[in-house]
Amino acid sequence: TPEADFLPRHGLDAATLAELFAWDEAAFLRNTEGGPIRRIGHERWLRNLAVALGNAPPTPEAATALRARTAHPSALVREHVAWALARHASASDPGGTDPAHSLAGDA
């Protein structure tokens, strides 16, 4: 479409989920300026990306990105990171330990 509001902006269309999940709040604000996604805020951005990473096929890049956020100050983000890690663990080892339990015990 020629409508400017519908065109990709800020290179978001080429970024991986792990790259987007690595953004700090300043990068989030800078890269979403002028776009509707900015309204959800950085915390919910991370929550949504944790869910997306958990639903995506497990990769080393995704696991590294998720583990980097296990101690995030937001309980909302930590909860969804734990869920995503548990999904990846169950996909790779259906009989293995649920990482969500070990993360909850570390808090």
* DSSP conformation letters of 43-86: HHHHHHHHHHHHHSPP-HHHHHHHHTTTT-S-HHHHHHHHHHHH
Would you tell me how many other CB atoms lie within 10 Å of the CB of residue 49?
24
* Report field, pTM of the whole predicted structure over 0.85: no
Among 23, 29, 28, 20, which Cα is nearest to 56's? 20
Note the pLDDT tens digit of each residue in 13-56. 788 999 999 999 999 999 988 888 999 999 999 999 999 999 99
